[in-house]
A and B are shown apart, each in its own frame.
Chain A
Amino acid sequence: MSEVTFDKRMTVDEIVGQLKDGMTIGIGGWGPRRKPMALVRAILRSSLKDLTVVAYGGADIGMLCAAGKVKKAIFGFVSLDAIPLEPYFRKVREAGQLADILELDEGMLQWGLKAAAMQLPFLPTRVGLGTDVMTYGKFETVTSPYADGEVLLAMPAIKLDVALIHVHRADQRGNVQQLGPDTYYDEWFAKAAAKTYVSAEEVVERMDISYPDDVKANTFERCFVTGVVEIAQGAHPTSLPPSYGWDMGHFKAYAASAGEEGGWDKYMAEFVGPDEAHYQAAIGGAEAVAKLPLPIF
């Protein structure tokens, strides 16, 4: 008798095929760390446009801006760490080409995702009061109904149509394992989204059979995972410790391209190319990525 089961594996094309113009897309990771860059590159190759991008931003926001995919950015920062100012984000902002932004405190962004995850309209916070984030974000306040009567900022839920996340391991049912020191807010992106697509360095049939000893590396439950795809080196050029560090040489070349005439088109042609196989070949493949040193802070 065969066991009844299910399988969430998808191809990259199937995942991108689920995305539509104008969607609000949350991207996990943090700055130049643990970003689902292979999925971002797949969007770069697509005809998608008018996206609202929500992220602790790095090259994900920068590249999507460079490619003209972004209508609105919601962020706490956009940075490549060692290169503090993300070159293409800076370029579109200073040209006035990305006027629709919501600049948030890092904690407010988290609060917005948590409100969405908890299916609440907002969460109250002091964060943002007394700053221009309050002014430009056009945030409303709420008064505590209790004796303290405190006036708080009402951080609205940031509901995501889709979240994109990169992990170390997934299984066919959508169980994930995230290794490394930090998994940032990936779990809240997953829970705030109507659908979450996960790329993984490795996809196994059953996590309980392949990696039962690392079960504490499961950071969000499979009910929050719509589809999984195996893409090794899928976070490159961002870091994915302990597997690989960020590729600062690549980031430097990318940053330099922002200052060149037609620089983005050249980056697209040289690296992003027609598919991920092209990208992997352009960066020297798994061997080159495995040699990237882990960043030391």
Chain B
Amino acid sequence: MSVSDCSLAELLIVACSEAWRGNGEVVATGIGPVPRLGASLAKLTHTPQLMMTDGEAFLVEEPVPIGPRGYDDRKAAGYLPFSRFFDSAVWTGRRHAMVSPTQIDRFGQTNLSYLGGTYDKPKTQMLGVRGFPGNSIYHINSMFVPFHSKRLFVEGEVDMVSSVGYNPARRLPGGNYSGVDLRVIVTNLCVMDFGGKDHAIRVLSLHPGVTIDQVREATGFDLQVDGDLPTTPLPTEEQLAIIARLDPHNHRATVIKGNPPAIAKETVA
């Protein structure tokens, strides 16, 4: 397969992997196939210092492939069960997680708890806040969004603020928010960060064939755009080979509806 034939999912895995570049000895956690493959790719290529678990309780130096495999296939280099995970990785700030929230607002506040209705009677009950409040105030976080839309990037605030963002109105005086460090948002359309004015969300690159108008149309708030935007790079042959090894059952093909190619066949003018 030539590089130009690769899938959008593969391009996204590479874009996600860049989030961890140069992070050093922190636990790289990617929740979901694309972020997880991205973290694994980062460790195997540009940032070998990254620490990583087998998805359960053990630290591994060789990233564990996703999907069915032997239960004891992984080789443990260290031990990081849930209790130590909080003590060693979260509250010491030695972690960079990439997660996929259900809603994100312009402040980088996210929601994983419920959608619509009220706290007492939600329209849709979701998981609960899980570790988002603690993660967001203690260590680096990035986000992966497989379907960039206004339902996800909401116009106002998210329905229940589950993770801390950069909303000044939510910042209790005297609190220490120095650990809040939101890095990138990788979506199926573009890569963004929080490098705009007062941490505004800023578009960094557009995926091949995507226009800035498409991105704006799919976002519920204003985005900062500085000058001409570069195109998100395609994976290299070496990266594609590593991705194929880490995902032997091709789970990546199921992440984006229809498994489209990285270079859109029909570009919207």
Contact = CB atoms under 8 A, between A and B. Distances in A.
Do the two shown chains form a genuine complex with each other?
yes
Interface of A: 30, 75-79, 84-85, 89-90, 93-96, 99, 101, 103-108, 110, 125-134, 136, 141, 143, 149-152, 181-185, 187, 293-294, 296-297
B129 A130 contact: no
Interface string B156-169: 00001111110100
Contact of A94 (B57, B123, B162, B167): B123
Contacts, number: 151
B68 interface: yes
A133 B137 CA distance: 13
Contact of A143 (B125, B174, B177): B174
Contact of A96 (B81, B83, B121, B128): B121
Contacts of A107: 86, 90-91, 131, 133-134
Please classify the interface of chain B as helix (H, G, I), strand (E, B), loop, or mixed, using the class held by over half of its residues: loop
Given A79-B128, A127-B133, A131-B164, 16 more contacts: A76-B128, A77-B127, A78-B128, A90-B125, A94-B121, A94-B122, A94-B125, A105-B133, A127-B137, A131-B162, A133-B129, A150-B174, A182-B56, A184-B83, A185-B82, A294-B71
A96 B123 CA distance: 9
B130 A76 contact: yes
Nearest to A79: B127
Interface string B199-219: 000000000000000000000
Given A107-B86, A130-B164, A85 B134 contact: no
B58 interface: yes
What 4 pairs between A and B have smallest CB-CB spacing? A297-B55, A151-B174, A96-B121, A130-B164
A75 B114 CA distance: 14
A75 B134 contact: no
B126 interface: yes
A125 B55 CA distance: 27
Given A77-B128, A150-B175, A151-B173, A126 B137 contact: yes
A105 B131 contact: yes
Nearest to A96: B121
Given A132-B162, A184-B83, A185-B82, A77 B130 contact: yes
A75 B124 CA distance: 17
Interface residues of B, number: 54
B55 to A, nearest CB: 3
B129 A103 contact: yes
B71 A105 contact: no
Most buried by B among A30, A129, A181, A184: A129
5 contacts: A76-B131, A126-B176, A132-B119, A141-B174, A182-B82
Given A106-B130, A136-B119, A150-B174, A181 B124 contact: no
Nearest to B162: A131
A216 to B, nearest CB: 12
A108 B57 CA distance: 21
B132 interface: yes
Contacts of A134: 172
Nearest to B179: A126
